[in-house]
Amino acid sequence: MTERGKKKSSRRPQDLRHRKSVKRYRSRRMKRRSAVLWALLLAVIILLAGSAVVYGFLKWDGEDAGNEKTAKDITIENGNVQAGRAQESADGVSGAASGPQKEEDGGSALPEDSRRGENTATEEHHKTNGLAICMYHYVYDEADPPDDLGNNHIEVHALEEEIKYLVENDYYFPTWEEVRQYVEGELLLPEKSVVLTFDDGAKSFLDLGIPVFEKYKVPATSFLITSNDGENKVKEYQSDFVTFQSHSDNMHRAGGNIGHGGIFTAMSHDDAVADLKKSIQICGNGDAFAYPYGDYTDDCRAAVEDAGFTCAVTTENRRAEVGDDPLLLPRVRMSRGQSLESFIALVE
């Protein structure tokens, strides 16, 4: 064998070992790459699964929060009103079903932290000068007054000042059943007792007034004209402290020739009762009724009684007293610009 042949023969085992070594190296490298790729794929799967779980939790939590009965939040600072409403429930519950539940005494159920108070009246200490059922209408912010500003408006900060006074002086807020029992002489009320009502269910009260009652946890009544977007208002402005009651469904309009000319006095008994019952269904409550424009006749009163109301209020300007008809109760008018001292004199 030549020298050249010997060299080739000696390199063959070396080349074979080299090729095997390279092949093993490449195989190990491929396995490492595969392991890395599988690890990355597994990490992506875990990340996606985790994101789905978090998204599902947040979605459930958001839906749960959206179903809470919340009213518009308000902060009154440095003379400015800042407001924001929570997302409303989209479960399609009707206005009648979404109204506050009833207590056995005929009033609306209130949270435990409500400032309604307790009836502490005794034979020696009870209200003897008549009960003020306050009649408000519209609320406005002095920083953005409405074009139709009139005597039936109250500035939101003035309203807050009045409610704060009532809370700080431990006023009692009777239910409508208690009001009826009071005027019928069956129940004594504390010396500091008052009822707060707002007519028409105007957006100005819903947007600016309800937050004040939510803030101070004080009960009030909103007399709602239910044909005026009543169902949506009842759903959108659900509140633990403001109860929607009837101001009729579609009788707050002209058509009669008694008093202010409201149509109620000209309607048949059956049509009037049907209207009233429809408004009760939408409000979810039949504790109290406010006569449109304050107009009424004996026939109107009979329709209100047949519809099943506990109390009804007029616009006669005085306090309710023992002996008054619970379906023809007077109220004390609240006016724009009244001072806190004037308010105190009207309710104490």
Contact by Cβ (8 Å): 61, 37: no
* Cα-based distances in Å from 308 to 39, 61, 276, 280: 72, 41, 9, 9
50-70: burial string, b at 16+ Cβ within 10 Å, e else: eeeeeeeeeeeeeeeeeeeeb
Expressed in angstroms, the distance from the first to the final Cα of the chain is 132
CA dihedral sign of residues 184, 187, 192, 193: negative
Successive 10-residue mean pLDDT values, the chain, 348 residues: 50 54 58 68 69 46 38 42 40 35 50 75 94 98 96 98 97 98 98 98 97 97 98 97 98 95 97 98 98 98 98 98 98 97 98
Contact by Cβ (8 Å): 229, 262: no
Contact by Cβ (8 Å): 208, 214: no
pLDDT at 83: 45
Contact by Cβ (8 Å): 285, 108: yes
Write down the residue that tokens 């000042």 correspond to: 161
CA dihedral sign of residues 268, 273, 274, 279: positive
**Residue from 241, 242, 333, 248 nearest 290 by CA:** 248
Considering the entire predicted model, what is its pTM?
Answer: 0.71
What 41-49 contacts at long range (C-beta under 8 Å, 24+ apart), as own/partner pairs, is none
266: Cβ contacts below 8 Å, ≥ 6 apart: 255, 256, 257
Q: Tell me whether residue 21 is exposed, middle or buried, using C-beta atoms within 10 angstroms of its C-beta: 0 to 12, 13 to 18, 19 or more.
A: exposed
Residue 311's DSSP bridge partners are 288
- For residue 282, the Cα-to-chain-centroid distance in whole angstroms is 15
DSSP 34-86: HHHHHHHHHHHHHHHHHHHHHHHHHHHHHHHHHTS----EEEEETTEEEEEPP
Ramachandran assignment for 117, one of left (phi > 0), alpha (psi -120 to 50 degrees), beta (any other): left
Q: Tell me whether residue 145 is exposed, middle or buried, using C-beta atoms within 10 angstroms of its C-beta: 0 to 12, 13 to 18, 19 or more.
A: exposed
In 202-250, DSSP assigns E strands to 220-224, 242-246
CA atoms within 13 A on the CB side of 57: 6
CA atoms within 13 A on the CB side of 346: 20
pLDDT at 23: 58
Q: What is the distance between the alpha carbons of residues 95 and 284, in angstroms, rounded to a whole number?
A: 6
